[in-house]
Amino acid sequence: MHGPSADALIRAGATPTKLHNNCSGKHAGMLATCKHLSWPLESYLQDDHPLQRANRAALAAFAGMAPEEIPVAVDGCGVPTFYLGLTKTALAWARLTSPEPPAPYTRPPPGGWSRPSKPIP
């Protein structure tokens, strides 16, 4: 919890609730997205929900993977969380800074990709 906010809560004699958790904004954002896109609100924590499928697909695009290649677990507040190795995480973060959208995932050809003639940005 934010230090000054925690101090103010203590001074007020109050105790923290779920609304004081830093993930409440994450949940509010997910629910707002579901509401905006007319997706079900009740099941937004399920990994097969349209929101979670869209989140996984977006991460996959930035990481240069197919969505089904990304393992799924559940975080401490019930939200599906996605696992990437260090290299794919670095690639995804680097692509977030690019003005160009990530290219759609393409499976490698049977013989594999040939080495690019110049470095990939």
Per residue in 10-51, pLDDT (tens digit) is: 999 998 876 777 787 889 999 999 999 999 999 999 999 999
What pLDDT does residue 83 have? 95
Read off the amino acid at residue 56: R
DSSP string of 31-44?
HHHHHHTT--STTT
Please enumerate in sequence order all residues whose Cβ is within 8 A of that of 85, keeping only pairs 6 or more positions apart, or say none. none
3-state SS, residue 106: coil
Helix spans in 1-121 (H): 3-11, 24-36, 50-63, 86-96
Among residues 94, 83, 79, 88, the alpha carbon closest in space to that of 44 is found at 79
Tell me the whole-structure pTM to 2 decimals: 0.69
